[in-house]
Amino acid sequence: MAFGTNIRTYFEGRWHEGDPAVMRAADHGIWQGSSVFDGARMFQGVVPDLEAHCARVNHSADALMIDPTMTAEAMADLAREGLRPYGPGAAVYVRPMYWAIAGSDLGIAPARGQTGFALCLEEVALPDFERPTTLTRTRFRRPVLEDAVCNAKAGCLYPNNARMLTEARAKGFGNALVADAMGNVAESATANVFIVRDGVVLTPIPNGTFLAGITRARHIANLRADGVEVIETVLGFEDVAAADEVFLSGNFAKVTAVAAFEDRRYPAPGPMTRRVRDLYWDWALSGPRV
């Protein structure tokens, strides 16, 4: 079931109004989980880092042994074509997807050269920046590459995120702060995490257990260009508890302020969190319009 409205879907060579069926019962992507996706965002007439998101879905397909069928450039052009009918004030989630159609090797491995593709556009409002979230620990952890395809934005990884988030919500918190296999902070259940301490911004160093996001990289570049020191390092839960501010970074919301980690409270949105968001919006709105 869709979580947005005003849906447009590109499938099998044309745009469809609405949410058409794109998989069949015997498709490998349905029963073996060989699906990947990515997400970009249109807001205020711009689609920041669209080409990067399209390139990443192709990299994700490669990681799952699925052959991509479009170049990143062609995919981005297609997305812009589909976005033009939306109004200039629309906030739209842009989701390109691949899945394997047939299997080989007893049906487990995807057959090469048989790939499904769809590009789904859903109108979904940006979350309210002035409404921060809260974090708690979870017993579930991020896997390592030897256990799962951590180097892809793969649908098969998301049930683990879902149980993290469900556990956090059951405890009365908005999101989960997740450890990697070594017990260090990796990310939240839905987004990358940053902390602020004495004017310095710190974030977990990418160690292969989580996707270091495109929006995360953009925030790091924007902050450094603005003279802020940003350090990628190993962080423990005690570092988060000792922080002056905490914020999350992801494509869906761009920046999410954090008001609490368990019983530790923070100003939210704090001054650095506002600065990150302002820098991102200034950068994004300087780009080309759809």
Question: pLDDT averaged over consecutive 10-residue blocks of the chain (290 residues)?
Answer: 87 96 95 96 97 98 97 98 94 98 90 96 97 98 95 96 98 98 97 98 96 97 98 98 98 97 97 98 95
pLDDT of res. 28? 96
The pTM for the full model equals 0.96
Collapse the DSSP code of 166 into the 3-class scheme (helix H, G, I; strand E, B; otherwise coil) and give the result.
Answer: helix
pLDDT of res. 191? 98
Listed residues 123, 145, 163: the one ending a domain: 123
Closest CA to 175 of 150, 192, 159: 192
Q: Assess if residue 157 is contained within a domain.
A: yes
Listed residues 103, 123, 143: the one ending a domain: 123
Listed residues 88, 123, 158: the one ending a domain: 123
Co-location of 23 and 88 in the same domain = yes
Co-location of 78 and 177 in the same domain = no
Q: Assess if residue 111 is contained within a domain.
A: yes
Q: Assess if residue 128 is contained within a domain.
A: no
pLDDT of res. 109? 94
Which helix (H) or strand (E) covers residue 18, if one does?
none
pLDDT of res. 87? 87
Co-location of 104 and 27 in the same domain = yes
pLDDT of res. 209? 95
User: Domain range holding 230?
Assistant: 133-285
pLDDT of res. 184? 98
**Number of domains comprising the chain:** 2
Work out the number of other CB atoms within 10 angstroms of the CB of residue 166.
Answer: 14
Co-location of 154 and 235 in the same domain = yes
Co-location of 146 and 117 in the same domain = no
Co-location of 170 and 117 in the same domain = no
Q: Determine the Cα angle at 79 with ends 99 and 11, to 5°.
A: 45
Q: Please report, as a single letter, which amino acid is at residue 272.
A: M
Q: Assess if residue 219 is contained within a domain.
A: yes
Co-location of 151 and 277 in the same domain = yes
pLDDT of res. 233? 98
Helical packing angle, 50-63 and 72-83, nearest 10°: 130
Task: Provide the CATH number for the domain around residue 259.
Answer: 3.20.10.10
DSSP string, 221-240: HHHHHTT--EEEE---HHHH
Please tell me what DSSP assigns to residue 174.
S
Co-location of 17 and 99 in the same domain = yes
Q: Assess if residue 290 is contained within a domain.
A: no
Co-location of 224 and 256 in the same domain = yes
Co-location of 110 and 206 in the same domain = no
Q: 143: which residues sit within 8 A by CB, 6+ positions away? A: 150, 157, 160, 181, 209
Task: Provide the CATH number for the domain around residue 109.
Answer: 3.30.470.10
Co-location of 71 and 172 in the same domain = no
Co-location of 207 and 173 in the same domain = yes
